[in-house]
Chains A and B, each alone.
Chain A
């Protein structure tokens, strides 16, 4: 069996270099505009930076995937077509696409460029993945965070000609990616259209008698007691009232971390383990890449002897929102 790939995020060139230095097999990055779903200020790559990034990665035997995972805007689709052409001209190892029109364009215009179906396309079943394979010859699908580990295994058994990529670590989308309007409902800014979820300009922190309140688009997301860590306010991690209780109605703030079930995930046949966080710092990328590299190598040295090392957990906990970790949907009981 082919060894699983460690795939690291890069929000800029220093992060890309950090990923390469710390043992990533592949990196992914997007261009500095609305064509990708981490369209934050000061983040992402110009065309010349992309060229440098790809050259640097390739020089170290690391693959470089270009992300183009938002939906072209009505009346202004040119930046998206242009970005596909640039990725093809730069000979990226793969392009990550979410939109059927972009998939069609890339498949017809650049058939040599491998296509990875973005998580934003929300293809969570064999029928949908086969549809994308049939029409656009996708090489890989990035699975939305809705499937359990056994479901991923069954999917792999059914789809021999499409690689599977799954999220291994990082911020956890609780919803089916690409199909969530919670941000636009409250802030007017949509991940699907603008490439941004819960923009900082819609966030307010208020101090009220020692209690900290967080707001998004005016809506109260959570209230914290003195000394409690406050999470960045998103609707899906908010503390609301339902069924006569106040609780995290959808999900507690925290990070996905699959180390505990790494053998099960690798043995389900996935090709790539993805680290979330193009918006995170260079040191986050370095730390998480290095730790996942160690864990994966430790598994392959002796799969039956694989154990999560306490040092890995300590290191990873230091990087994540709050300090809680979850296996998320990979465990059925989460659902």
Chain B
């Protein structure tokens, strides 16, 4: 049975909202795995290591797995020190680490690792190597088409590995040294005034024709449209996908996860699920092109 993972929160919700979110996801949803940790910006005042330890203790009795996610673009000394503290905590709590930069793999080498979507695994040979350094699960880069995913999943390998697919949410497209949210306010990253906190689902960016194109989320650029593979659910199990990732958004998460669970269980037809998810998306269009070998912003109708 395909499991559901809730990806790390990519937005700057702040400490109390994050704690409330994880408690809700743990106690009120059928999600199996919760990823937790700041992936975007080390300036954000999210959860402390103590908060993480507290949440881990609380979540443990629910039977859900907690995974600690690392920063996506590591630059400063302080950020590298944070990686080691996160690794120590993961070891103390017996949790996996999702590495989102080779620094995360390097810092936690030999520990139980998930290669996150920001670690470039484009072929089975790379995964073979990463398994040697501790990777037990990988999340496919979002731009990989189904054909490449099949090639990686079906390659013979000495030890099993779990495959996770980014299946629902705004697509994480890239990182920069520059903060685009600060730039939108004519501020620099050093003096950002924590503007990301005002955008719980990122800052929508449109073309001059009004077409929603991108979402600015600090140093990260995401898609404006929400990507969903709900219509492709019947293909996922035969493809060898073990886990689908739902990326957190500020609204409707309980409903989205329930719809996904019912669809994965065959209780809800994918077309009906798509209609229901549409309602959780203010009736805005979705995208799913990457999986079908098309531009990521396209929507392929089955």
Contact = CB atoms under 8 A, between A and B. Distances in A.
Contact of A146 (B75, B118, B151): B75
B122 A72 contact: yes
Nearest to A220: B207
Given A125-B75, A179-B120, A132 B151 contact: no
Interface string A88-109: 0000000000111100110000
Contacts of A184: 143, 290, 295-296
Given A127-B103, A240-B214, A185 B297 contact: yes
A180 B75 contact: no
A251 B221 CA distance: 13
Does more than half of chain A's interface fall in helix, strand or loop, or is it mixed? mixed
Interface size on B, as a range, is 35 or more
A217 B214 CA distance: 14
A135 B110 CA distance: 13
Contacts of B102: 121-123, 127-128, 131-132
Interface string A239-251: 1111101100111
Interface residues of A, number: 69
B201 to A, nearest CB: 14
Interface string A113-153: 00000000111111110111011000000000111000100
A58 interface: no
Contacts of A235: 213-214
A17 to B, nearest CB: 35
A180 B142 CA distance: 11
Nearest to A178: B120
Interface stretch (B21-29, B89-97, B179-187): B179-187
Interface string B267-302: 000000000000000000000011001111110000
Contact of A101 (B123, B206, B208): B123
B178 A335 contact: yes
A55 interface: no
B205 A241 contact: yes
A334 to B, nearest CB: 7
B221 A190 contact: no
B129 A335 contact: no
B209 A188 contact: no
A290 to B, nearest CB: 30
Interface string A292-321: 000000000000000000000000000000
B148 interface: yes
B80 A127 contact: yes
A87 to B, nearest CB: 18
A250 B151 contact: no
B174 A147 contact: no
Which 4 residue pairs spanning A and B have beta carbons closest together?
A131-B106, A74-B151, A101-B125, A146-B177
15 contacts: A73-B122, A74-B147, A74-B151, A77-B123, A101-B123, A121-B102, A131-B105, A184-B143, A219-B211, A240-B208, A241-B206, A241-B210, A242-B204, A243-B184, A332-B190
Given A127-B83, A135-B129, A235-B213, 19 more contacts: A74-B122, A74-B123, A98-B120, A101-B128, A104-B125, A125-B74, A126-B80, A131-B102, A147-B75, A178-B120, A182-B173, A182-B221, A184-B143, A192-B120, A242-B180, A242-B184, A243-B203, A249-B180, A335-B177
Interface of A: 71-75, 77, 98-101, 104-105, 121-128, 130-132, 134-135, 145-147, 151, 154, 174-176, 178-182, 184-188, 190, 192-193, 217, 219-223, 235, 238-243, 245-246, 249-251, 329, 332-335
